[in-house]
Amino acid sequence: TEEITRLSCDVLVIGAGGAGLRAAIEARLAGKKTIVISKSLFGKAHTVMAEGGAAAALGNVNSRDSWKVHFRDTMRGGKFMNNYRMAQLHAQEAAQRVWELETYGALFDRTADGKISQRNFGGHEYPRLAHVGDRTGLEMIRTLQQKIVSLQQEDQREHGDYDARLRILDETTITRLLKDGNRVSGAFGYKRSNGELLAIEAPAVVLATGGIGKSFKVTSNSWEYTGDGHALALRAGATLLNMEFIQFHPTGMVWPPSVRGILVTESVRGDGGVLRNSEGDRFMFNYIPDVFRAQYAETEDEGDRWYTDPDNNRRPPELLPRDEVARAINAEVKAGRGTEHGGVFLDIASRRDADYITKQLPSMYHQFKELADVDITAEAMEVGPTCHYIMGGIEVAAEDAQTKVTGLYAAGEVAGGMHGSNRLGGNSLSDLLVFGKRAGEHAAAYVDGLEERPKLAESQIEVATSEALRPLQPTSGKAENPFGLQSEMQDINHSLVGIIRRAEELEEAIDKLRGLADRINNVRVPGGRAYNPGWHLALDLYNMLLVSNCTALAALERSESRGGHTREDAPKMDAKWRKINLVCATADKDTPITDSRVSLKRQPVPTIPAELLELFEPDELAKYLTEEELHLGLAAAT
Ligand code: FAD
């Protein structure tokens, strides 16, 4: 029998990005014994890579901003598919969460009068992103970690043990959630360094594992983002919402090949950069959709004036929501007006002086200089769409972040609903803080209310052990290589479930993914359990496959185009579809990792209450809602 290390805590947080750390802080502040786990090194999460900033209606740069305007922008950006209550809580609480971060020691860039400065971003009506140059995520992670260290120091003083109530386990991957009936009872995983197996008893678990980007060929995401949390939740009997909505960020690097997909922050456009095709045209003016026409400039002059006089001019179309810009770039390249390497030009050099660029965008300056030998203060960058973020995710209740499994919570990118069909830039960092805090708080309260802790079942630990060790055992079939299979899956998703989709191609993708299932079960890797990346990837592949299946199925079902889901064969947004959430589940409540089948069902989107509908002009609502909804909503509002 295998040796298994046993640990126990009240609240187990899986993921140490912004959402996980904020949840852990809250659980610990509520007095709960908390463990935080991260797959990579502590501090290395997507959150650290966030560049542009955290969106919050502080109203520092334009006092007209308020939660209501932020809510409105978020719903518009998500094309009204958002869980309205999450969008409302987020808009109402983001400012408080950002200020609170300063009490933990964060220092955002300042306005001339000493307030937290805010920058413009796509889809936000007013300058709204609190930022630290283009390294905001770094400051956020640094601060949250510092807060954790300060709490550990407090525990050392009180209990003589830094880890007494808040313990960090890094380079540890969770492969399975454990359950007692419909309640979560803990989690199982392994240490990446030596393959040590762990079973952690915990009555409350918060999933904060981030995204799925590594299932796609071109992505801004790093190696850890294989949809683990989505898959863990599904297999434990929770549900996933609207997995077809994937954000392709319009501007990733396209050259050289080794850096393809790496993000070029939207701040370049927020700070004055413009997009041009190979003929030198500022093409975004040709791509303003009707639903946004009233809010965007018609001429280059008007768009340029907006940077200095936003009250009397409309914003330039380079700052449309991301889905619009990504599709426009895709169309230009397809029409033969792309750059040599299949992108378009992003030009800030001809629009801002070198000092401004190196001060506002220091990371971008270095990134291009070092990785592409391009001086962005003198030349245009070459950019194109890159898989960036998943709006779909684990179905949670808005107030307490709980999933369909009792005691299992989810926050951050892994959770669905908040961003609807398309996320606005900057709304993720604030989402992490708002819902990370809520998840931690409610997980702690749930533990307080328990009469009896759920029990760990030894039989489940045995199953989890054999699943985890499977790729290291001999096979009777043909052994498959995990790296080859990952690249096949990335190709399938990139070419058949990518930025522009068609029914036949989605069917082909579903078929091909099915073909990968058996082969993934036959993945075998040489070597032992110490630092064996082949073994790690072999386990991640199961998650990628399950989540890719959800995305392909939902993308086939939703026969309309909306936000991060574009169907060439159904190019219009359809108000009837706005009322439908697509929800994925597995057949079993405790699905083995070798079973990648999922079912899909339609579920009504909760009705937006009249007092929130009132924040919009009737003309605008008419673009999104059905006649019937309009009638009911507006009747209730008057
Ligand atoms: P993450 O920060 O992704 O952290 C996930 C954690 O889960 C990590 O610790 C990981 O190791 C751990 N984990 C994963 N799987 C497992 C497992 N099986 N077992 C144990 N641990 C696991 N958003 C904005 O709002 N503003 C921006 O300016 C911005 N810029 C961005 C720039 C880049 C380059 C990228 C990639 C994203 C950007 N985003 C931005 C999006 C935003 O950064 C992410 O959506 C957000 O940070 C996700 O945070 P999270 O806490 O949900 O997860």
Pocket test for ligand 1, best of 269, 428, 541, 547 (most atoms within 8 A of CB): 428
Work out which ligand 1 atom sits closest to the CA atom of 414: 52
Residues 336-372: tens digit of each pLDDT: 999 999 899 999 999 999 999 999 999 999 999 999 9
Work out which ligand 1 atom sits closest to the CA atom of 543: 18
Work out which ligand 1 atom sits closest to the CA atom of 430: 25
- 254 alpha carbon – ligand 1 mean position (Å): 22
- 247 alpha carbon – ligand 1 mean position (Å): 14
At residue 470, the 3 state secondary structure works out as helix
Residue nearest ligand 1's atom 24 by CA: 426
Work out which ligand 1 atom sits closest to the CA atom of 213: 36
Taking residues 524-549, report their average pLDDT: 97
d(CA 315, CA 298): 9
- 246 alpha carbon – ligand 1 mean position (Å): 15
Which residue's entry shows tokens 């501090």? 43
- At 636 the pLDDT is 59
Pocket test for ligand 1, best of 47, 174, 433 (most atoms within 8 A of CB): 47
Residue 605 has what DSSP assignment?
Answer: P
Which residues are CB-neighbours of 592 under 8 A, at least 6 positions away?
235, 463, 467
Q: What is the layout of strands, in order, in the sheet containing 11-14?
A: 166-169, 34-37, 11-14, 204-207, 408-410
Is 475 in contact with 531 (CB distance < 8 Å)? Answer: no
Q: Are strands 344-347 and 274-276 parallel, antiparallel or unpaired?
A: antiparallel
Residues 425-454: tens digit of each pLDDT: 999 999 999 999 999 999 999 999 999 999
Average pLDDT of the chain, as a whole number: 95
Work out which ligand 1 atom sits closest to the CA atom of 16: 9
Q: Where are the beta strands (DSSP E) in 114-203?
A: 118-119, 129-130, 166-169, 172-180, 183-191, 197-201
Per-residue pLDDT for 637 more than 70? no
Containing H/E element for 241?
strand 240-241
- 249 alpha carbon – ligand 1 mean position (Å): 15
d(CA 340, CA 560): 33
- At 258 the pLDDT is 87
- 165 alpha carbon – ligand 1 mean position (Å): 24
Per-residue pLDDT for 485 more than 80? yes
Residue nearest ligand 1's atom 12 by CA: 15
Residue nearest ligand 1's atom 14 by CA: 209
Q: For residue 387, give Cα distances in angstroms to 35, 382, 390, 415, 608.
A: 31, 17, 9, 18, 30
Work out which ligand 1 atom sits closest to the CA atom of 47: 47
Predicted confidence band of residue 121 (pLDDT cuts 50, 70, 90): confident
- At 635 the pLDDT is 57
CB burial of residue 469 (10 Å; 0-12, 13-18, 19+): middle
- 636 alpha carbon – ligand 1 mean position (Å): 40
- 547 alpha carbon – ligand 1 mean position (Å): 17
Residue nearest ligand 1's atom 38 by CA: 50
Q: Where are the beta strands (DSSP E) in 342-499?
A: 344-347, 381-390, 393-394, 408-410
- 412 alpha carbon – ligand 1 mean position (Å): 8
- At 57 the pLDDT is 97
- Looking at the chain, the whole-number percentage of residues with pLDDT higher than 70 is 99
At residue 566, the 3 state secondary structure works out as coil
What is the pTM for the complete model shown?
0.93
Taking residues 415-422, report their average pLDDT: 97
Predicted confidence band of residue 321 (pLDDT cuts 50, 70, 90): confident
Alpha carbon of residue 540 to chain centroid? 18
Predicted confidence band of residue 52 (pLDDT cuts 50, 70, 90): confident
Residues 58-77: tens digit of each pLDDT: 999 999 999 999 999 999 99
CB burial of residue 351 (10 Å; 0-12, 13-18, 19+): middle
Q: For residue 130, give Cα distances in angstroms to 73, 118, 137, 142, 367.
A: 16, 5, 11, 16, 22
Residue 351 has what DSSP assignment?
Answer: T
DSSP of 35-87? EEE-SSSTT-SHHHH--S-EE----SS-TT--HHHHHHHHHHHTTT-S-HHHH
> Active-site residues: which are they?
249, 269
Taking residues 29-44, report their average pLDDT: 96
From the CA atom positions of the chain, what is the Rg in Å?
24
Which residue's entry shows tokens 């072999």? 538
Residue nearest ligand 1's atom 31 by CA: 50
Give the relative orientation of helices 533-557 and 228-235 as an angle to the nearest 10 degrees: 70
The total of other beta-carbon atoms located within 10 Å of residue 138's CB is: 18
- Enumerate residues lining ligand 1, CB below 6 A: 14-20, 37-40, 45-47, 49-53, 136-137, 173-174, 208-210, 220-221, 224, 228, 263, 389, 412-414, 425-429, 432
Find the DSSP H helices in 187-237.
228-235
Residue nearest ligand 1's atom 4 by CA: 17
d(CA 480, CA 538): 10
Q: What is the layout of strands, in order, in the sheet containing 381-390?
A: 246-253, 381-390, 344-347, 274-276
In sequence order, what are the beta bridge partners of 315? 296
Which residues are CB-neighbours of 355 under 8 A, at least 6 positions away?
none
Residue nearest ligand 1's atom 9 by CA: 16
- 44 alpha carbon – ligand 1 mean position (Å): 9
Biggest alpha carbon–alpha carbon distance for the chain: 73
- At 587 the pLDDT is 81
Which residues are CB-neighbours of 261 under 8 A, at least 6 positions away?
218, 219, 220, 252, 253, 386, 387
Task: From 241, 615, 630, select the one nearest 421 (Cα to Cα).
Answer: 241
CB burial of residue 47 (10 Å; 0-12, 13-18, 19+): buried
